[in-house]
Structure 1
Amino acid sequence: MPDRAEPDRDETAEPAGSSPEQRSRRRARLAEVFGDVLPEQTSDDDSTHDGGTSDAWLRRQVPPHHG
């Protein structure tokens, strides 16, 4: 029977047994390299978003022969 492959490891997971200082430095380095992965608030969360602007924009972009 063939050896089972090692399951994918989460490379972003913090190493076990790391100190709070090491974790903090690691998070700071990741933020420096990659920036904020997710914004604190997205347009979907924004209550002022009317939802129709993208549809109106899309309709304005349709060429006349597709009208």
Structure 2
Amino acid sequence: MPAESSGSTGPTARPPLTEEQRRRLAEVFGDVLPATTADERDDRDPIAERRADEDLLADRPPHHDRER
């Protein structure tokens, strides 16, 4: 048997947050969303990438060096 509803059909409306409430929420929780996303930032380490490329090239089979 379904539970009876209290008569409310939607979410309750809340008053907008005050500046003090927003400041306190930011202090406690920090930024919910960063200003930029990971794909917009260049967080890669170029030295580590170069080493990885060198390792891959050093491990290639000898027949890859032959010219056709």
Task: Give TM-score scaled by structure 2 length.
Answer: 0.37
Structure with more of its chain in helix, by fraction: 2
Task: Give TM-score scaled by structure 1 length.
Answer: 0.38
Bigger relative CO (Cα 8 Å, ≥ 6 apart): 1
